[in-house]
Amino acid sequence: MGVTMRDVASLAGVSSKTVSNVVNNHPHVHPETRARVQRAIGELGYRPNFSARGLRSGRTGVIGLAVPELRQNYFAELADDVIAAAENHGLGVIVDQLGGTRQHEVDVLTNGLRQTDGLLFSPERLGTEDLQLLDYVGFPLVLLGERIFGGPTDHVTMHNVSAARAATEHLVDRGRDRIAVVGAHPDGRENQIRPADLRIRGYRQALFEAGIEHEPQLERRVAPWHPQNGAEATRELLASGLQFDALFALNDTLAVGALRALGEAGVRVPEDVAVIGFDNIDTGRFTLPSLSSVDPGRGEIARTAVEMLIERIEGGQGVRRPARLYKADFHIVTRESTGDLSSELDT
Amino acid sequence: MGVTMRDVASLAGVSSKTVSNVVNNHPHVHPETRARVQRAIGELGYRPNFSARGLRSGRTGVIGLAVPELRQNYFAELADDVIAAAENHGLGVIVDQLGGTRQHEVDVLTNGLRQTDGLLFSPERLGTEDLQLLDYVGFPLVLLGERIFGGPTDHVTMHNVSAARAATEHLVDRGRDRIAVVGAHPDGRENQIRPADLRIRGYRQALFEAGIEHEPQLERRVAPWHPQNGAEATRELLASGLQFDALFALNDTLAVGALRALGEAGVRVPEDVAVIGFDNIDTGRFTLPSLSSVDPGRGEIARTAVEMLIERIEGGQGVRRPARLYKADFHIVTRESTGDLSSELDT
DNA sequence: GTGAAAGCGCTAACAA
DNA sequence: TTGTTAGCGCTTTCAC
């Protein structure tokens, strides 16, 4: 490196401010001047120094994305979408993994990520009981996920309750009335605001509306939502002797484990037990059978979150627009695990 | 924000350089002074400005990671490992997705990512024919993957040939001698340096050493390595009428598709056809049957690449240490798809 | 439409 | 062990 705006300016015979105007696509530059500057830039191989720009302008052009961990398919796909959306706005993305510790989540919320203008934050440990932490956040923040509601920041999430209700209805519509669910929160408190609780609420609503008696034994508690735990819970369900003709896994990761356990036990899916998941991760298209799921509108979530964050960044601290809550549209994706008996590959 | 070192310095009654020394953990600071400064930092809520530090020191404390796309499980897991390794060294990671276009790869290689000290680069389109591009890279670079060899930069990769040979031997050891392979490169040229070609070479070596005749029809060409293509190729193989009792998928993503296709056709795995993949992605533990694979030492690759990059960054342009080529250790992971007939879940 | 001057917050180099 | 000076490269402000 080493080529600065001054070098470009002197070669082009202009001031460095004019070079700056050209580099930043300012409108009022004479076309001829612009061309001359651009020629000089090309000749010298000039690259702007983003640290200097960041220091002077107070903007880095980079946003942070903090998620639990990328090896969870859902977050990898979310990161994919966020990075793509940010790039469309000319922004880079620093990805941080919260790694399942509360302390790390508090740190990130307190300090932000270095060199970023704002943060997309999808916590795994913090909950609504930590709401006060959000009041002291000193940078633009958009919250993702279903763990904290009612805070002072913008929030992008999904229709958990109604999507879970729709998933359950999807099973009811296929004539199932002994519908097990895997993934309830272990502490079993109702009316909490966590993905597990919201989705359980939707499940119960659907049963109630269909006139199906709610059987508490069919609600299996699982945490964390890993495939092995989904498999485990499903094995216990099978061993319990409880009858069930459908299974709603509260996310696809659990569902993958459930399909394993059902397959091991020789239970046919969907003939004996229909299975639906939640998240619509890519892998669900290639399980055997392929997995029906709730598509939570992840791409829309990513795009909206990035746009909201940009508005907050550009609005600056001055614009005290009230916090917005955005819920993406969802839809049910029907595949083999709740479908008819053909075995077409959904691609 | 707005609290600067000067503010801290005047509150603590020292110069800003002393504050800098404290913030950067310089050794020669009087413990009492250090304590006083830290108290002032806490009182004022001082946070360092990384742009200013970057401008002055020439280091941003952030590295770039460019991969094809995070929705491919292997790259998500690689990014997970890289971010974790970087964090251990106090570095942030900007993740860029190359998105399958040659132009984007050239751009990244030419310009680097903004605000970074160096780049881990795992191209998908560029090949050894683009070697000259590496000569003009103006920042520390560590190459990942198997597409470009012999360049002027450090390179971290895996033992493709011998790992593929070991995977094939693993099938031979189980008494299989009609071993199909899915994922050969469509142009079919031999002795190219691409993952597909290297792994095919290992496959052929193993057959040769086992005295098994090489049957070109059993080598199926597939690109890109997506599950649907793996399924497709496997269906063609089944439809061809060729006999085979084992299948080596050149990566796990293809293998997932192959398991689908075999399952659809009622072919039993591993009884009728044993299957092994390559990459050891997490998902392979939960397919039905679970997937044997080559573990390419991804964690080791990530850690080594980050360390090499740091050495290059800290060494500066002055240290012209010759380019290093590091190949991680691999090992075979045996699961149900090549295992005995028990159906224990490998967790 | 372009230029001149100032300074963002920090750390390198040197002085004390 | 600590302080002083200077300036990294850019954009802001304001003049022209």
The identity of residue B224, as a single letter, is P
Which pLDDT value is given to residue B318?
Answer: 45
Which pLDDT value is given to residue A190?
Answer: 58
- Percent of chain B clearing pLDDT 90 (strictly above): 68
Alpha-carbon radius of gyration of chain A: 25
B255 with B200: CB under 8 angstroms?
no
pTM of the model: 0.93
The answer to whether the C-beta of A33 is closer than 7 A to strand C is yes
The dihedral over CA atoms of B47, B53, B59, B63, expressed in degrees to the nearest 10, equals: 30
Q: Is A168 left (phi over 0), alpha (psi -120 to 50) or beta?
A: alpha
- Interatomic distance A23 CA / D11 C1' (Å): 12
- Percent of chain A clearing pLDDT 90 (strictly above): 66
Q: Which two tokens stand for residue A327?
A: 């819920």
Which nucleotide across the nucleic acid strands is nearest to B4, CA versus C1'?
A: C9
Task: Work out the pLDDT band at A195, boundaries 50, 70, 90.
Answer: confident
B41 with B70: CB under 8 angstroms?
no
**Intra-chain end-to-end CA distance of chain A, in Å:** 47
Strand intervals (E) in B145-226: 154-158, 179-184, 219-221
State the residue for tokens 């913030």: B23
Partner residue opposite A115 with nearest CB, options B71, B115, B259: B115
- Summarize pLDDT for A298-345 with one digit per residue, the tens: 999 999 999 999 999 987 554 567 899 999 999 999 999 998 644 444
Q: Hey, is the C-beta of B189 within 8 angstroms of any chain A C-beta?
A: no
Which pLDDT value is given to residue B191?
Answer: 55
Which nucleotide across the nucleic acid strands is nearest to A2, CA versus C1'?
A: D9
According to DSSP, the β-strands at A293-295 and A331-333 are antiparallel
Which pLDDT value is given to residue B343?
Answer: 44
Nearest alpha-carbon partner for A168 in B222, A176, A323: A176
Alpha carbon separation from B308 to A244, B15, B219, B299 (Å, rounded): 55, 36, 37, 14
- Interatomic distance A53 CA / D3 C1' (Å): 29
- Percent of chain B clearing pLDDT 70 (strictly above): 94
Q: Do B51 and A47 touch (CB under 8 A)?
A: no
> Mean pLDDT across the stretch B198-226?
95
Alpha carbon separation from B227 to A287, B182, B260, B265 (Å, rounded): 10, 11, 9, 16
Which pLDDT value is given to residue A71?
Answer: 94
Widest Cα–Cα separation across chain A = 85
- Summarize pLDDT for A241-263 with one digit per residue, the tens: 999 999 999 999 999 999 999 99
Give chain B's mean pLDDT: 91
The dihedral over CA atoms of A129, A133, A134, A140, expressed in degrees to the nearest 10, equals: -150
Q: Which of B1, B47, B71 to mutate to test the interface with A (most CBs of A within 10 A)?
A: B71
Q: How many CA atoms lie within 13 A of A290 on its CB side?
A: 26
Q: Which of residues 81-120 of A touch B (CB under 8 A)?
A: 83-84, 87, 92-97, 99, 111, 113-115
Q: Do A70 and B83 touch (CB under 8 A)?
A: yes
- Summarize pLDDT for A32-73 with one digit per residue, the tens: 888 888 898 998 888 899 999 999 988 999 999 999 999 999
Residue with the bigger pLDDT between B192 and B57: it is B57
> Mean pLDDT across the stretch B240-269?
96
Q: Which of residues 142-181 of B touch A (CB under 8 A)?
A: none
d(C-alpha B57, C-alpha B274), whole Å: 56
A–B interface: beta-carbon pairs under 8 A: 157
The dihedral over CA atoms of A260, A264, A267, A268, expressed in degrees to the nearest 10, equals: 60
d(C-alpha B27, C-alpha B31), whole Å: 10
Q: In terms of C-beta density within 10 A (0-12 exposed, 13-18 middle, 19 or more buried), how is residue B99 classed? A: middle
Q: Which of residues 28-67 of A touch strand D (CB under 7 A)?
A: 46, 48-49, 52-53, 55-57
Task: Work out the pLDDT band at B342, boundaries 50, 70, 90.
Answer: very low
d(C-alpha A77, C-alpha A98), whole Å: 16
Residues of B in contact with A336 (CB under 8 A): none
Within a 10 A sphere around the Cβ of B51, how many other Cβ atoms? Answer: 23
According to DSSP, the β-strands at A179-184 and A219-221 are parallel
- Summarize pLDDT for B291-309 with one digit per residue, the tens: 999 999 999 999 999 999 9
Which pLDDT value is given to residue B319?
Answer: 52
Which domains does chain A show, CATH number per domain? 51-158+298-316 (3.40.50.2300), 160-295+332-338 (3.40.50.2300)
Sign of CA dihedral B172, B176, B180, B182: negative
Which pLDDT value is given to residue A27?
Answer: 78
- Summarize pLDDT for A140-175 with one digit per residue, the tens: 999 999 888 888 999 999 999 999 999 999 999 999
> Mean pLDDT across the stretch B164-183?
97
Which pLDDT value is given to residue B131?
Answer: 87
According to DSSP, the β-strands at B141-144 and B154-158 are parallel
- Summarize pLDDT for B132-152 with one digit per residue, the tens: 898 888 899 999 998 888 889
Residues of B in contact with A60 (CB under 8 A): 51, 115
Q: Is the omega angle on the peptide bond into residue B48 within 30 degrees of 0, that is, cis?
A: no
The answer to whether the C-beta of B283 is closer than 7 A to strand D is no
Q: Which of A70, A77, A83, A119 to mutate to test the interface with B (most CBs of B within 10 A)?
A: A70
- Summarize pLDDT for B95-142 with one digit per residue, the tens: 999 998 999 999 999 888 988 999 999 999 888 888 889 888 889 999
